[in-house]
Structure 1
């Protein structure tokens, strides 16, 4: 999520705070307009997957508000796949539980966590790095949350939580209550739109050790989980958005069109 951020989530609504943040501040992707530094072509670290065409024209995402700031030139991570690539628009396949402990799956998970944090963001799904497997990672920190206005944090019911790695997640709603908020996505750079999400969900799956895991989430964490699980079904937030709220990051502050739902819970 482009943060739901770099919302990401991620997924992630941008707050007005991003416009007055210091240039060197690393913000969650939900509130960061991503910038890219060109890099040379590198070998596919996942030879078992051939879901994408040649990476010769690709570039790697780097942390930092301006190009070149905060880069670690020795760190090479898989690219974030962009909208239009088939891997983002087709259902991912389940991971064989017996394979979760393998070096290959563990490397994919490690790379996902690094890419999410490097962005930085609050959520990432394996298809977003070109891997058609049902794996998601998410994390929201007090530092990320601290950049948002207090009234926005309260409205979104946003609280920090530790890193979660969920393999083969299955999600279900726990109530009919919903909320409308802006979301963004690393795979759809530079845009935001309002998306309606359930306020309370339950997710079950396996952790990175192959052990059962259950997450009862509400508020913003529930939104991030829904955004990332959508990726595993080949769904982007733009497939679920309120169409007339779609806008560039630069126009995020402009009034909503008449008839559009205002951000908040229902």
Structure 2
């Protein structure tokens, strides 16, 4: 849906209709090419009832679990609000977990998030529920200073590192109209099938040599 005006009443009505339709379950994911994924999401500042924002979050969690994925931002279900959810059970081998600094991340919601780089860049394969079937190497800061509000409006600031930092950056980028492919090393792009066939190593070092791209 294209919004002619993202004014408070219109977004509130959109959220109300969305919650009424998907309450208690998952929502369909918006895929790349939809305008909502390329707009700047609205800051949550009281224009939508807090209870409705909480219900949006529950739908986002249900959508993330159903996909399954490790994060979903509100624009990915058609809602242009600065809200996202994250959570990662990290079902990977110990070798992969160590190489990617991937560890379990308890589910939580982020409202009006932002981040600042706090470490050197590292490159790993990354995918997106809104661009199914493909992955690409994205160079991101290994650690960030993350800020966000919880559903009670309390502001949090914390340092995230490893895979949790990557997830936070990926979902926060969605709220500014950016998709991971915008930051990807284009020579690394692969189908999911070829990723599993050729490039499922803990790091993309072999892929970088074979496909001709550089890592940090």
TM-score with structure 2 length normalisation? 0.81
Is 1:154 aligned with 2:107? no
Post-superposition Cα deviations, 1:16-57, rounded to whole Å, max 9, x if no partner, equal xxxxxxxxxxxxxxxxxxxxxxxxxxxxxx87239xxxxxxx
1:136 to partner: Cα distance:
1.3
Where do 4+ consecutive residues of structure 1 move more than 6 Å?
Answer: none
1:119 to partner: Cα distance:
1.6
State the match for 1:221 in structure 2.
164
Mapping of residues 57-206 of structure 1, within 5 Å = 76-96=25-45, 98=46, 102-141=50-89, 145-146=90-91, 148-175=92-119, 177-206=120-149
Counterpart Cα distance in 1 of 2:47 and 2:155: 15
Is 1:239 aligned with 2:187? no
1:78 to partner: Cα distance:
1.5
Indicate the RMSD between aligned Cα atoms, in angstroms: 2.2
Q: Secondary structure at the match of 1:205?
A: strand
1:261 to partner: Cα distance:
2.9
Alignment counterpart, residue 260 of structure 1, candidates 204, 213, 216: 213
Q: Secondary structure at the match of 2:29?
A: coil
Bigger proportion of residues as helix: 2
Post-superposition Cα deviations, 1:119-138, rounded to whole Å, max 9, x if no partner, equal 22111111001000001110
Counterpart Cα distance in 2 of 1:218 and 1:76: 31
Counterpart Cα distance in 2 of 1:215 and 1:169: 11
Counterpart Cα distance in 2 of 1:133 and 1:76: 19
Alignment counterpart, residue 48 of structure 1, candidates 13, 19, 25: 13
The number of residues matched between the two structures is 190
Post-superposition Cα deviations, 1:186-239, rounded to whole Å, max 9, x if no partner, equal 000010111001001011121011111223100000000110011011011111
Q: Secondary structure at the match of 1:189?
A: coil
State the match for 1:251 in structure 2.
194
Counterpart Cα distance in 1 of 2:26 and 2:143: 33
Q: Any stretches of 5+ residues in structure 1 without a counterpart?
A: 1-45, 51-59, 61-73
Identify the structure with bigger relative contact order (alpha carbons < 8 Å, sequence gap 6+): 1
| Residues 139 and 161, structure 1, Cα contact 8 Å, conserved in 2 | yes
